[in-house]
Amino acid sequence: MKAPDDDELRFKSVIDILKHTSKIDAPTRFESDLMRRINTLNYKTEKVRWWFKIITPTWIVPSIAAISLIIAFFILNLNTRESDNPFFAVPKLRETVNSLSFPHLHSLSATKLGYTAASLSQSFVTKKEGLNFLQIRLSESEQNRINKLKTQISGYLKENLSRNK
């Protein structure tokens, strides 16, 4: 047995008291409780493993994540306003601009005015200065007819106004 050092001699009385304190014993059911706890733990871990093996193979988790990401991307995309790419956007025609701004003029269709599709297509000339606008070149007879129509329309309008009065 190792000889006590100076410190142990200095505190001999305390050491003796501590050495002779009564020993505390574990409860009688200690082992049975312990084994029960261990068995419960084993059962739990086995259950989890079984679930993981059968239901979730290794590839399922990443594939589900990828699919949900794609779906989320589409859902979010639907909600965002697409900004027009100016290089791919079709320029607005004067006709459509007019029809949007003055819807009552749109009702006067080209056929009503006596234009044929062929004459319209021939008269559609795009100039460098105004790529966004369509210009119509009319023949003299066509202009005369338009003027006639204008006077007719203004006549109708005047008549309507006088009747209303």
Partner 1 sequence: MTDKKLSDLTDEDLILDFQLNNTIKAYELLVQRYKNPLINYVYRFLGDYEACVDIVQETMIKVYRNKDSYKSIAKFSTWIYTIAGNLARTEYQRRKRRNVFSINSIREDDETFDIPDESMRPDVITDSGIKNEIIQKALLKVSAAYREMVILRDIQELSYEEIAEVTGISVGTVKSRINRGRAQLQKMLKGIYKE
Sites of contact with partner 1 (CB under 8 A) = 7, 10-11, 13-19, 21-27, 30-31, 33-34, 37-38, 41
Alpha carbon of 54 to those of 4, 48, 50, 51, 64: distances in Å?
64, 10, 6, 5, 16
Q: At its nearest, how many Å lie between partner 1 and the CB of residue 56?
A: 23
Output the smallest distance, CB 69 to partner 1, in A: 36
Shortest Å, Cβ 58 to partner 1: 24
91 neighbors 131 (Cβ within 8 angstroms): yes
Nearer to partner 1 among residue 10 and residue 148 (C-beta): 10
Contact 158, 146 (CB under 8 A): no
Number of helices (H) and strands (E) in the chain: give both, helices first: 9, 2
Compare residues 19 and 165 and give the one whose CB is closer to partner 1: 19
CB of residue 38 to partner 1, shortest distance in Å:
6
Structure-block tokens of residue 25: 């014993």
Q: Considering beta carbons, is residue 23 or 165 the nearer one to partner 1?
A: 23
Partners of residue 136 on adjacent β-strands: 124
- Of 7 and 84, nearer to partner 1 (C-beta) is 7
